[in-house]
Structure 1
Amino acid sequence: MKDASSAIPAPVESGPYHFKYETVKGYFKQSEEETDDRGFDFIEEEFGLIERTYHEKGEDKRHEDKGQWQAFEDHVSDLNEQAERGVHYKVLFLGRHGQGYHNVAETKYGTEAWDCYWSLLDGADGLVWDDAHLTDMGQDQARDVNGLWKKLLPKGIPAPETFYVSPLTRTLQTADLSFHGLGWPEDRPYKPFVKELVREALGVHTCDRRSNASHITKAFPHITLENNFSEPDPLWESDYREPRSARKYRLETFLDDVFENDRGKFLSFTSHSGAIASILEGVGHRTFALQTGGVIPVFVKAERVDGERVKPPKEPSEGPEPCEEPPTPAEGLGT
């Protein structure tokens, strides 16, 4: 079997290009239309890997007598080795951060008032949500993910080869609690790699404004920031909320970077609900809602396509206009 670094073919020719993505179905329950995302428990379902065989009668039997995760890992390697030039496969574990204080605030004030008033503040009523931290519940949700990995690693689940993390505090906290202390293989240690583009929707909401780089590295000295990571936040604007089309383009650009430069086949992304929704849309996956702390694995096929990715035109800021006073929450909200 070839070395992992040979899994991604070299570019066919010079010139601009991007990747066309599709979700490979039949491997994870979350990718199947009949799965109800409202009641799906990824911990109880052990990430949702579908039990199946990985060979046909008369073919290579090397998957036999292996656990499902080990057989799946071999299968992904086989697909990459057999793929045409410019085509390759990766499994992405997309994790949403645990509950943050901004989530508590939105529930407290109601979404309408949150979007037009409270989200523009750094905090209120004893809560702080500027670059929001995890609540106690959010920390427990991340620890639950840690427990699932601890349970599945002895069963042969492939350890992620890269741990990509958003630079927001709540995602860095979630990644640490989810992945620390699990005895990862020596060639796949937990080393968080912070990427700017895997963030939540940009602008207006202070919970989505990251801290300065010096503060991040002081609070999380074990992380690695991507090259050219600036000291102040270069992407957040106080008066412009990133539209969905722009967010999708940003996350597809992030995927292009990962699929071009990362030789790994199993990758972890610790991110946000909006960012994960854009990734799922970008890879042709069905809509699948994640609760805070939720994780969804996606088996992705990428095919190199000549030409630059088409950037959408700039659209008006997403969300309501700011309001001078918070609207009165509807009955039943604001508790």
Structure 2
Amino acid sequence: MATKPSELDVLDSHLSSTDAQEYQDELKTLEASLSSYWKFEVVPGVFKQSLKETDESKFNYLNEHFGILESWDEITTKLATLNLQSSEDESYKIFFLARHGQGFHNLAHSKYGDKAWNEYWSKLNGDGEIVWGPDPLLTELGISQAQENAAVWKQELSNNKSGKTDLILPTKWFVSPLSRSIDTLINTWGDIVDLKKVQPLIQENLRETTGVHTCDKRSPRRVIAKKYEPKGFRIETGFSEEDIYYKDDYRETVAEQSLRINKNLQQIFNENPEDSIISLTSHSGSIRAQLLVLGHRSFAVGTGGMIPVFVKATRHHNK
């Protein structure tokens, strides 16, 4: 189930000694070319996952009310108050960063181990028993992990004794275009909200680290549209028919992925000023980049896992 992360999850979540610096160097150059941009930081003392002393290898958010250090009423009141008192160049949001449930590529990764997976098996579509590329589906365990999150969300909503349960429910949903993330969103939220009404938006920039690993190549737009638009999903403007970002011979770096995640977060803050609680469903690599961009400590998230982050964004203007 969606409990503590595995050793592979912890390994994959951590940054190398140069990853963060490379991202910051490239970001500084990018920001100098913009008329304005948002800078992000974590509001401290809200969730246990942001504390240095929280052991990511043992922490189970399912048993910890998502990691809250205060009541939901106190947290949502703080969120509303900060936004009410903020200037037009300040914005506060809570992001629920969800990782897709176990996919068949995760099953294969565990089967062969990190070295063999990265050096050989990840470049194939399968091994004759498991098919993991391109765009693999969720395993039965992956589906149950998403459903487990749904059960916890329902419990948290019913535990909010103020009667203002809508205050801790996201008002916007964004998702990676890879099937495992979209299906995770469906199995997590489908019984809680009307997906045709909230219309989750499929965004290219939320996808996993791309290149080399066949599991990270997405389906054509027509396939995604046929499968998911009838369920209420929207596909962002400019979404190409074929996957133009995946390359067989080049794997995206952490810095490169973090820059596109930054672009995604800039877009969310610019286009959704009134939405203060937002759900993002993506991948382990995407969450690693999101935490880096938001100024959060590295924190491993297991398959089907979720991590909330209370974010302050400040808009800077270049003269």
TM-score range normalised by the length of the shorter chain: 0.7 to 0.9
Amino acid at match of 2:190: H
Whole-angstrom CA distance in 2 between matches of 1:49 and 1:183: 23
Deviation at 1:115, TM superposition (A): 1.1
1:267-326: per-residue Cα shift (whole Å, max 9, x none)? 000010011011101111111101101100000000112249xxxxxxxxxxxxxxxxxx
Q: State the partner residue of 2:144.
A: 140
In the TM superposition, what are the counterparts of 1:82-121 in structure 2 within 5 Å? 82-121=85-124
Given the alignment, which residue of 267, 274, 280 partners 2:285? Answer: 274
| Structure 2, gaps ≥5 residues long | 1-33
1:111-146: per-residue Cα shift (whole Å, max 9, x none)? 112112111111122211111111111111100000
1:27 matches 2:31: no
Q: State the partner residue of 1:303.
A: 314
* Cα distance change on mapping 1:307 and 1:123 into 2, 3 Å: farther
In structure 2, the residue corresponding to 1:152 is in which secondary structure?
Answer: helix
1:216-265: per-residue Cα shift (whole Å, max 9, x none)? 11121221001111111121111110011111111111111111111200
RMSD: 1.7
**Identical-pair percentage:** 40
Q: State the partner residue of 1:199.
A: 207
Larger gyration radius, structure 1 or structure 2: 1
Q: State the partner residue of 2:126.
A: 123
1:287 matches 2:306: no
Amino acid at match of 2:43: V
Q: State the partner residue of 2:254.
A: 244
Whole-angstrom CA distance in 2 between matches of 1:147 and 1:255: 28
In the TM superposition, what are the counterparts of 1:128-207 in structure 2 within 5 Å? 128-130=131-133, 131-154=135-158, 155=160, 156=165, 158-183=168-193, 189-207=197-215
Amino acid at match of 1:271: S
In structure 1, the residue corresponding to 2:63 is in which secondary structure?
Answer: coil
Runs of 4+ deviating beyond 4 Å? none
Whole-angstrom CA distance in 2 between matches of 1:255 and 1:305: 15
Amino acid at match of 1:211: S
Higher relative contact order (CA 8 A, sep 6+): 2
| Structure 1, gaps ≥5 residues long | 1-14, 52-67, 309-335
In the TM superposition, what are the counterparts of 1:226-245 in structure 2 within 5 Å? 226-245=236-255
Does the 8 A contact of 1:180 with 1:190 survive in 2?
no
Whole-angstrom CA distance in 1 between matches of 2:157 and 2:75: 14
Q: State the partner residue of 2:233.
A: 223
Q: Which has the higher helix share?
A: 2
Does the 8 A contact of 1:179 with 1:190 survive in 2?
no
